[in-house]
Amino acid sequence: MSFLLASMIAIGVGSLFLGLLIYFSDSKNSANKIFTLFSLVVVMWIISTYLVDHPIVNEMALFWNKLNFASAISMAIVIFYFSFYFPKKSNFPTTWKILYFIISLILILLILFTNLGIEKIEFLDWGTNASSGHLFYPGLVWAIISIVGLFINIGVKYKNLDSNEKLQLKYLIYGLILSIIFGLSSSALLPIITGQYEYAKFAPVGMIFLIGFTAYAILKHQLFNIKVILTETAVGLVVLAIFIQTLSSKTIGQGLFNGIILILVIYGGYLVIKSVLREIKFRQELQMLTDQLAKANAHLKDLDKMKTEFVSLASHELLTPVSAIEGYLSMILDEHLAKVDDPKAAQYLDRIYRSSRRLARLIADMLNISRIEEGRLMVEKKDVNLNELIKQTIDELKFKAEERKQRVVFEDIANKLRDSSATPQNDNYMTYADPDKIKEVIVNIIGNSIKYSKDPGTISIHIEKAPTEKVQEIWAKIEDKVKDQPLDDQEAIKASVNEYYRQFVGKEQLLIIVKDQGIGIPKEELTKLFKKFHRVGDYSTEESQGTGLGLYISRSLVELHHGRIWADSEGRGKGSTFTFSLPDISDKEALLEIEKQVPNQKEQLKPLAKPMNEKIGEDI
Ligand code: ADP
């Protein structure tokens, strides 16, 4: 047997097997039915290709040629039909489908039963050579139209498929393209160029691509039922073999032994099939749940966006009247402007005033959060002298700190050096940032230190330089710790600003470190502080009322400056240390380069919202 014949038989059998497998995997599915029809046409094509050159009875040679031509065209027609149902049904008008079917049927019948397609044949020493009739080229054109239609059809529906369906379709397309190229070159191109039809007999070899790729798509991407059929077939074959062996046993003992094995194998096979079915059911359910989850997730994202927009709008509308209430109350309470005679009334008014101030602060915080999350916060960076900025902020907070018996000291090493030594080596620490935003961060941190210190103590601040790697290492450890925690707690490290802003810049970072001797923070709470609304324990006393938003806003502002913020504490009663990093001024160019890549902000940029009449640290 020649190699060509052997490979044709292999491809024919493979094609038939695949066709039947797909049919039995789901015989009600139109795509499966049409694919099976296609594989049968392929088998017909392969057989007729062989018979064209080995007609057995010479009188039949002309018919084999016609059958060969007709089945080649039919393949294109059937696969075009297939594309209407795979992987999803398309909405193509039925009338057009029927019209196409009628024309195709007439064409095939004419080719098969008249001499219009193949006119006559001549016998040559390698087989037969056919002369084309009037319908030969129209037939070819019809096949080409079908193939073009197939690709248009696939192209139109491609974008609406899910990723798995797209992948399935891709494998089918790869197989098709390779088979078509191979088939057309050997059965049309070469014969037309050389005038010899001898090469046509190689055309079926190209089917190996289509069969191979489709089989791969099916096995790899689990058209589930096929797994069951394969398992059932395998179990069936084993049972059959043992059954035959049992029947042909020579002695009773052997028969008994084989019989027992048969029963065991039947039971084992039953278990295997059952477990495969269970696994498939499980996978299908999993697939369904995954799809549902993806949909729910998309819906949640939409809702979240709507919520942010609503909060932004509502806060904006609320801030103005609340600030007005706060403003007038402060005027009533100011002895120079108004007089409240009843001390009780004055006390109540004072309470209302404090509450309205807190309310205004809360609204401003919410507004700021929505501005940050929507990328609408105006950030105006410039060269900033951190030493100066910190000193200025401390001056503004001094009064509040003294009220709570806290001493705020800035360990201004750079300036100390300048004062004490003849040759100052250390300049002030310079960064490239929006001073207002950095001030907000410092106020939040020092404000917390004042707020969460019960006994008299010292709050110390200092700046130092650290290698970027060290900061990255610290942050990686925090991320590792947080990733093991529930999803809700993971919010504490989820970026609230564009990832470009969060990129570290340069080899060194400036660290601003604030240390207090306050109430401290339990270790397990350290990473959670930076998510929205998180507050440790229960500090519902008048003094320590807060919103749990300050550190989230601080984190977002620091991240807008390519930095990170984290907290350390040895535990309750042992004080806390808050550290945040900022880039060094020397890396300004690199920083500007990165920020150029941030996608354009969609809407108008807005400054940080602050309640009217706000004095720094008022809400501490
Ligand atoms: P707020 O202070 O409005 O509650 P923050 O986001 O600023 O919100 O702080 C979150 C929580 O972190 C606080 O409620 C507090 O429990 C804790 N915290 C912040 N700073 C300190 C600190 N210096 N010492 C102890 N606990 C702190």
Which one, of 2, 69, 82, lies nearest residue 35 by Cα?
82
Alpha helices per DSSP H over 548-620: 550-559, 588-596
Number of the ligand 1 atom closest to the C-alpha atom of 516: 23
Expressed in angstroms and rounded, the spacing between residue 411 Cα and the centre of ligand 1 is 23
Tokens of 142: 């019809």
In angstroms, the Cα distances linking 396 to 389, 404, 408, 447, 615 are 11, 15, 11, 11, 9
> What average pLDDT does the segment 536-541 reach?
60
Residue whose CB lies within 8 A of the most ligand 1 atoms, among 368, 446, 452, for a mutation test: 452
Residue type, 269: G
Measure the CA–CA gap between 336 and 328, rounded to whole angstroms.
13
Task: Decide: residue 597, CB within 10 A, 0-12 exposed, 13-18 middle, 19+ buried.
Answer: exposed
541: pLDDT confidence band, cut at 50, 70 and 90?
A: very low
Residue nearest to atom 9 of ligand 1 (CA): 548
At which residue do the structure tokens 């046509």 appear? Answer: 200
pLDDT at 423: 43
416: pLDDT confidence band, cut at 50, 70 and 90?
A: low
Strand, coil or helix: 600: coil
Candidate from 36-40, 182-186, 237-241, 610-614 with smallest mean pLDDT: 610-614
422: pLDDT confidence band, cut at 50, 70 and 90?
A: very low
- Ligand 1 neighbour 577 (Cβ under 6 A): no
Alpha helices per DSSP H over 159-223: 163-184, 190-194, 207-220
Strand, coil or helix: 432: strand
- Ligand 1 neighbour 452 (Cβ under 6 A): yes
- Ligand 1 neighbour 547 (Cβ under 6 A): yes
Strand runs labelled E in 66-173: 118-124, 127-132
Measure the CA–CA gap between 285 and 134, rounded to whole angstroms.
56
Measure the CA–CA gap between 146 and 73, rounded to whole angstroms.
9
pLDDT at 373: 86
Residue nearest to atom 14 of ligand 1 (CA): 535
Which one, of 219, 207, 257, 161, lies nearest residue 15 by Cα?
207
429: pLDDT confidence band, cut at 50, 70 and 90?
A: very high
- Ligand 1 neighbour 517 (Cβ under 6 A): no
Expressed in angstroms and rounded, the spacing between residue 565 Cα and the centre of ligand 1 is 14
Residue nearest to atom 20 of ligand 1 (CA): 448
- Ligand 1 neighbour 553 (Cβ under 6 A): no
The answer to pTM > 0.85 is no
587's enclosing H/E stretch is: none
Average pLDDT of the chain is 85
Measure the CA–CA gap between 255 and 257, rounded to whole angstroms.
5
Q: What number does CATH give the domain 379-604?
A: 3.30.565.10
Expressed in angstroms and rounded, the spacing between residue 280 Cα and the centre of ligand 1 is 51
> What average pLDDT does the segment 297-306 reach?
88
- Ligand 1 neighbour 521 (Cβ under 6 A): yes
Residue nearest to atom 18 of ligand 1 (CA): 448
Tokens of 281: 């059911």
Residue nearest to atom 23 of ligand 1 (CA): 449
pLDDT at 1 over 70: no
Q: What number does CATH give the domain 3-221?
A: 1.20.1070.10
Name the residue ranges covered by the structural domains of the chain. 3-221, 227-376, 379-604
β-strand pairing of 406-411 with 118-124: unpaired
586: pLDDT confidence band, cut at 50, 70 and 90?
A: very high
